Amino acid sequence: MADTGTAAVFAAEPAMRAGAEPRGPRPRKVISRRNILIYGTLFVVALYYLLPLYVMIVTSLKGMPEIRLGNIFSPPIEITFEPWVKAWSQACTGLNCDGLSRGFWNSVRITVPSVILSIAIASVNGYALANWKFKGADIFFTILIFGAFIPYQVMLYPIVILLREIGFYGTLTGLVMVHTVFGMPILTLLFRNYFSSLPEELFKAARVDGAGFWGIYFRIMLPMSLPIFVVAVIIQITGIWNDFLFGVVYTRPDVYPMTVQLNNIVNSVQGVKEYNVNMAATLITGLVPLVVYFISGKLFVRGIAAGAVKG
């Protein structure tokens, strides 16, 4: 039904395009078969993509008796927010029963320093690679980029040993360091490419005026590249918030990030399965990256394109 509406408004555009062709005017159909096909397909696919989100929301607002009776796609008859409250403050992981809030704050305490530290290091690094190239820099950079493709499993245990040696194994600090290390390839690439694209005259002029390495970075490069910093922040927040493997390997149960705790809540074997609480917990965990995604819009796309196409 949305299709007919859009097709009607849309009718002007094929006509315009047809005008560019030398073969004379096309019959002006309000609803062409082509448009029905295009919009129909996109609409159906969009439904498939939205379905899980819809099911999550609907399930999390139902009471357990209603879930047992009805089907998962029907909207709630009686809306209740109790599953949300329970997921946040009472759900059990098998170790403790204080809900997802613990994992949420752990994830905040992991994500914030990781994002800041990894971006600070990678941006200075990318700047050094773009503007202050030293001998051998490219070799290390190539290793770094290839390192991004090595399966994490290969490096899991050596990092356990390294962290144990410096006394950070099982702590949030250790996990922050791990995130900084594994965020480095993509971020360094991102910043290096961006700084290389800035006009070189700018850099030369600043050097002539006597600015040094840090002076140029803080006074010229940093203010000029805020968009790319935003892109980096988006990449890192979603990436680190969604991490599961590093969280489960390098932290102890009391500092588990949200994803690990969520998995423990939903997949714990004891007790009756409370599907509404599980879905509320799942939704809460997905909320942070979703909010980042919807707010950032095109920058998110730019971020993955920058990371992916050139990577």
Partner 1 sequence: MQEIRRPPRLFKNLNAKVAAIPMILTALVVFVGGTVWTVVYSFTNSRLLPRENFVGLQQYERLWATPRWHVAVENIFIYGACTLVFSLVVGFLLAALMDQKIRFENTFRTIFLYPFALSFIVTGLVWQWILNPQFGIEGIVRSWGWESFSFDPLYNANIVIYGILIAGLWQGTGLVMCLMLAGLRGIDEDIWKAARVDGIPTWKTYLFVVIPMMRPVFVTTLVIIAAGIVKVYDLVVAQTGGGPGIASEVPAKYVYDAMFLSQNLGQGFAASTMMLLSVLVVLIPWAYLEFGGRRKHG
Indicate the SS3 state at residue 170.
strand
What is the closest distance, in whole angstroms, from the C-beta atom of residue 304 to partner 1 in the complex?
6
| Local structure of residue 167 (DSSP, 8 states) | T
Quote the CA–CA distance of 57 and 284 in Å, as a whole number: 10
How far lies 151's CA from each of 14, 154, 287, in Å?
48, 6, 28
Instruction: Provide the CA 205 distance to its chain's centre, in angstroms.
Output: 38
Residue in 136, 115, 139, 247 with CA at minimum distance from that of residue 187 = 115
Placement of tokens 């989100």 in the chain: 53
Residue in 197, 189, 178, 187 with CA at minimum distance from that of residue 235 = 187
What is the closest distance, in whole angstroms, from the C-beta atom of residue 184 to partner 1 in the complex?
5
Q: Which is nearer to partner 1, 172 or 246 (CB)?
A: 246
What is the closest distance, in whole angstroms, from the C-beta atom of residue 245 to partner 1 in the complex?
6
Residues 104-109: contacts with CB within 8 Å, 24+ apart?
104/258, 104/284, 106/172, 106/251, 106/255, 106/256, 106/257, 106/258, 106/261, 107/241, 107/257, 107/258, 107/259, 107/288, 109/172
Query: Please, which residues have CB within 8 angstroms of residue 122's CB and are 6 or more apart in sequence?
Result: 183, 184, 187, 188, 190, 191, 232
**Does residue 302 contact residue 290 with C-beta atoms inside 8 Å?**
no
Q: Which is nearer to partner 1, 178 or 228 (CB)?
A: 178
Q: Which is nearer to partner 1, 188 or 225 (CB)?
A: 188
Residue in 122, 117, 140 with CA at minimum distance from that of residue 240 = 117
For 247-285, give the secondary structure using H, E and C: HHHHECHHHCCHHHHHHHHHCCCCCCCCHHHHHHHHHHH
Q: Which is nearer to partner 1, 106 or 188 (CB)?
A: 188
